[in-house]
Structure 1
Amino acid sequence: MQRDFDPTIYILASHKNGTLYIGVTSNLLQRLYQHRSGLIEGFSKDYGIQRLVWFEGGGSREEAIRREKQIKKWNRQWKINLIEQANPDWRDLAVDLGFEPLESRRVD
């Protein structure tokens, strides 16, 4: 049985100040599992981008997609500012949602 969730815009990072991935999903927990398990082929898997560093509810599906596209167009510093307003230490917020901590691949 499919359970619907509110659309969520999220940012993953490879590490603090690392490569960023911006996405939108209607099931954040499932999408995080997919990213962390390497089940999604493409950019995030190729660059080891698995740490959830920012997310927000997006209202309707259309509003969430519009917000995702808006953030993707921003310059990198604006994206970093958005992350650091809510998560200055770039903690992996997925741990707060019940996921196991990821092994650190880089010393910051």
Structure 2
Amino acid sequence: MDIKDQLKNLFPDHEPEETPIKSKEKNSLWLQDDPIICKYEKRKGKPITILEGYTGADEDFKKLAKELKTKLSVGGSFKDDKIIIQGDYRDKIMAILKDKGFAVKRVGG
């Protein structure tokens, strides 16, 4: 006997309301046809990962940058239509972007 049956026994006149299930959008970002380019560089001796080639709105790309930085717990910035992430996280970034539905192309190394 589950909880619903027990409640029916206690309150036989009560009719439960059906609440609509809100479907969360998994990805509110605009997906594109061309792949996002994921590059690795060294600047001043320190490794960085650069993402470029996004053709959607800048606000969406900034949201994506913030989400990547928080998931990876690293620093980074958004400049000149590029996301710059501190450190070499190409594999993790590519996995995150593929889960979101983006096409990603690895460049360099």
TM above 0.5, one fold? no
- Structure with more of its chain in helix, by fraction: 1
The structure that has the greater radius of gyration is 2
TM norm structure 1: 0.29
Higher strand share: 2
